[in-house]
Amino acid sequence: MEEPLIPVTDLAAALEADTVTLLDVRWRQGGPPGRPEYLEGHISGARFVDLDADLAGHAGAGGRHPLPAPEDFGAAMRRAGVRADRDVVVYDDWQGWGAARAWWVLRWAGHPRVRVLDGGLAAWRAAGHPLSRTEPAAGDGDFVPAPGAVPLLDADAAAELARRGVLLDARAAERYRGETEPIDRVAGHIPGAVSAPTTENTGADGRFLPAAALADRFAALGAGSGAEVGVYCGSGVSGAHEVLALAAAGIPAALYVGSWSEWSSDPDRPVATGPQPG
């Protein structure tokens, strides 16, 4: 499995050699749009990608962030300069969630070489690198999506995986337990799912834990070597971050993109509460 993360030093060298396409994916759950912050300062050469507009379809029965239509996604990536034969690096400035979603959707669409800047914009600035306010012109990419390059779960497949394999719930533990639900219709979790908050994949500096530490974490949750693993979250954003953490640990995993926002919208689907899978 290709290394999914890139450290600041390697990104700086790649930009100097002009060997990567750089995407800025500013996004915060419940927060303002990321473009104004991008315009205030970004890594030189990065083009802005809007998570809600470019990395997801319209909210509805399929959840808050369903998969984008391939033709729309392809057009957005070509405007961003993405080419099939050129490495892509993505970053954000909030927990790595937006960048992870871009990484996952590009991989789902068949791009073979995508990495996430470990630690995001904060790590870049901490290393003393400058930011730019110059927005590059629209790109001339040639990327054409070929969906299906990574495993994907729908609601029925997620329910089945929770019974026969390991389905990780990447949301905050209190949402998993059903103690609070600030966004979706019903509180709780998919029966059989295991609580695995995304926030425990990174350290205080926002960088991912070392691969061995991540592997130990997931093994303790039942997602060790050889396990069939799936992930869901609220709407397929933080869950992509968990899939990224698993990939960094060498563990392949499928994402349930509709996640809890889709699952909980159907009153006929069962809901478990409490600290145990149920």
Per-residue pLDDT of the chain (278 residues; tens, 9 = 90+): 579 999 999 999 999 999 999 999 999 887 788 999 999 999 999 999 999 999 999 998 899 999 999 999 999 999 999 999 999 999 999 889 999 999 999 999 999 999 999 999 999 999 999 999 999 999 999 999 999 999 999 999 999 999 999 999 999 999 999 999 988 889 999 999 999 999 999 999 999 999 999 999 999 999 998 899 999 999 999 999 999 999 999 999 999 999 999 999 999 999 999 999 98
- 57 counts as catalytic: no
pTM of the model as a whole: 0.96
Instruction: Say which of 22, 233, 247, 257 is annotated catalytic.
Output: 233
Measured between alpha carbons, how far is residue 106 from residues 154, 169, 192, 254 in Å? 19, 22, 29, 14
Report in angstroms the alpha-carbon separations of 142 from 81, 85, 136, 210. Answer: 8, 9, 17, 35
With CA atoms as reference, report the closest residue to 181 among 234, 223, 242, 130: 234
252's tokens: 């392949």
Taking the C-alpha atoms of residue 72 and residue 57, their distance in angstroms, rounded to an integer, is 9
Asked if residue 168 lies in contact with residue 242, where contact means CB atoms within 8 angstroms, the answer is yes
Q: Where are the alpha helices (DSSP H) in 58-202?
A: 70-79, 97-108, 120-126, 155-164, 173-177
Q: Tell me the residue ranges of DSSP E strands in the chain.
A: 5-6, 20-24, 47-48, 87-91, 114-117, 152-153, 166-169, 194-195, 229-232, 254-256
Quote the tokens at residue 243.
């899939």
Other CB atoms within 10 A of residue 99 CB: 32
- Least Cα distance to 161 among 93, 223, 113 occurs for 223
DSSP, collapsed to helix, strand or coil, labels residue 213 as helix
Given a contact cutoff of 8 angstroms between Cβ atoms, the answer to whether 241 and 46 are in contact is: no
What pLDDT, on the 0 to 100 scale, is given for residue 142? 97
